Amino acid sequence: MSTSLERALDILQSLSVRPDGPRQLSEMLDVHRSTVVRLLHSMESRGFVRRLPDGRWGIGFDLVEIGQRALDGIDLRDAARPHIQSLADELGHTVHVAELVGSDIVYVDKIEGLGSVKMRSRVGAKANAHAAGVAKAALAYAPAAVQDTAIVACDFERFTASTITDADGLRADFARIRARGWAIDDAEGEDYINCIAFPLFGLRDEVRGAVSVTAVRSIAPVSVLERHASRIRRAADAISAELGRPTPAAAAGAVTDAQLREPLIDS
């Protein structure tokens, strides 16, 4: 890598933290001020940096746009796949990833667990807002307008005796999810399976979807799945980091490693 390119990249990295002046940048790089000014003007011509009213320099809008386009190009399924594969291999249960699209939650990936049975979920299908763990995990952290739209569109069909069947019940569950840090589907969509699900976040800490671990209740009831909450949360954190989130997803929930037992293999 050329020295000029390295210096330009060092300048961009520094300005991404805070605006600065040529003198401070030259001291940081240990080069003459004229060298820094020349690099700044070259990058300014491409929109990578911009001069601020107070004489300092900051990141340019064209560079911000490039970064945003790059983030927009990150596919949730591709970002999540290696992490959910590891999760499925380790726990032996079915793992789902769903994406928040408008006010819908759509399954974008699914890895079947060992000896798994037929489930209603399939890639490309919408998850039931009131009964699926991934849907509840994503919507619990969605803006109020998105929640409202999802609730209005929900038919609240009763699938099992545990299904939430009204808007008040679903909103109350959203509050429990935010307090707990993860969602639970305890035989709410299908009476022989249950799951726990964690939200996934993007660059601006906006919810992008959710990841869940699903098991047959007779093999691993919710109480057993919750022993893996710390491990699933770490996978959700890693996926969120792939999506650009600068802070751990753990900040969204109350769960900590100290509050949970270490993951156990159940199946």
265 belongs to a structural domain: no
- Cα 140 from Cα 245, distance rounded (Å): 18
* pLDDT tens digits along 130-158: 999 999 999 999 999 999 999 999 999 99
- pTM value is 0.70
266 belongs to a structural domain: no
Regarding whether 92 and 45 lie in a shared domain, the answer is: no
What pLDDT does 266 receive? 35
192 belongs to a structural domain: yes
CATH code for position 39: 1.10.10.10
pLDDT at 267 over 60: no
Regarding whether 117 and 192 lie in a shared domain, the answer is: yes
User: Distance of CA 196 to CAs 42, 143, 230, Å?
Assistant: 51, 21, 11
Q: In which band, very low, low, confident or very high, does the pLDDT at 213 lie, cut at 50, 70 and 90?
A: very high
Pick from 179, 252, 184, 203: nearest CA to 67: 203
Percent of the chain with pLDDT over 90: 70
Contact 231, 90 (CB under 8 A): yes
What pLDDT does 68 receive? 65
267 belongs to a structural domain: no
176 belongs to a structural domain: yes
* pLDDT tens digits along 99-133: 999 999 999 999 988 766 677 788 888 999 999 99
Regarding whether 176 and 235 lie in a shared domain, the answer is: yes
57 belongs to a structural domain: yes
Domain boundary among 71, 100, 130: 71
Regarding whether 153 and 189 lie in a shared domain, the answer is: yes
User: If you average pLDDT over residues 221-243, what whole number do you get?
Assistant: 94
Regarding whether 88 and 67 lie in a shared domain, the answer is: no
- Of 162-166, 245-249, 259-263, the one with minimum mean pLDDT is 259-263
Regarding whether 172 and 63 lie in a shared domain, the answer is: no
* pLDDT tens digits along 50-89: 999 999 999 998 888 877 666 565 588 889 999 999 999 9
Instruction: Count how many domains the chain has.
Output: 2
Regarding whether 141 and 56 lie in a shared domain, the answer is: no
47 belongs to a structural domain: yes
Domain boundary among 71, 91, 114: 71
Domain boundary among 15, 40, 71: 71
175 belongs to a structural domain: yes
Regarding whether 113 and 33 lie in a shared domain, the answer is: no
Regarding whether 26 and 44 lie in a shared domain, the answer is: yes
Higher pLDDT, 117 or 38: 38
Regarding whether 119 and 85 lie in a shared domain, the answer is: yes
Q: What is the CA radius of gyration of the chain?
A: 23
Regarding whether 230 and 156 lie in a shared domain, the answer is: yes
> To the nearest whole number, what is the mean pLDDT of the chain?
87
Regarding whether 8 and 93 lie in a shared domain, the answer is: no
CATH code for position 110: 3.30.450.40
Q: How does 42-80 read in b/e, with b if 16+ C-beta sit within 10 Å?
A: ebeeeebbbeeeeeebebbeebeeeeeeeeeeeebeebb
Task: Tell me the residue range of the domain where 132 lies.
Answer: 74-259
